[in-house]
Amino acid sequence: MPTSRASSSPFPRGAVNHDGHHLPLFIVQVTQLTNGVFVAFAYNHALSDGIAFWDFLNVWAGIARARLPLLSG
């Protein structure tokens, strides 16, 4: 990542986390744009393999497309 962008990143510097003890295992940033959104995330590879990762993304996108109502806490 270019140094000019590194300071604005929500992700912890050096977020290569192999042990999962000091940094988040999964982190997401949603940026709302004028005509859409941008979703960035990083996760520890120990959480899943490539197939599970794409399955997760497809399910997450399906939920977003369905525009389900938010749960009230």
Question: Which residue matches tokens 């590194």?
Answer: 6
Per-domain residue ranges for the chain? 24-68
pLDDT at 32: 92
Q: What DSSP line would sit under the chain, residue for residue?
A: --HHHHTT-SSPTT---SSSSSS-SEEEEEEEETTEEEEEEEE-GGG--HHHHHHHHHHHHHHHHHTPPPPP-
Q: For residue 28, which of 3, 64, 73, 4 has the smallest C-alpha distance?
A: 64
Residue range 23-44, pLDDT digits in tens: 778 888 889 999 988 888 888 7
Q: What is the mean pLDDT of residues 62-69?
A: 81
How much is the pLDDT for 1? 45
pLDDT at 21: 62
DSSP conformational letter for 22: S
Mean pLDDT of 55-73: 81
Average pLDDT over residues 8-34: 71
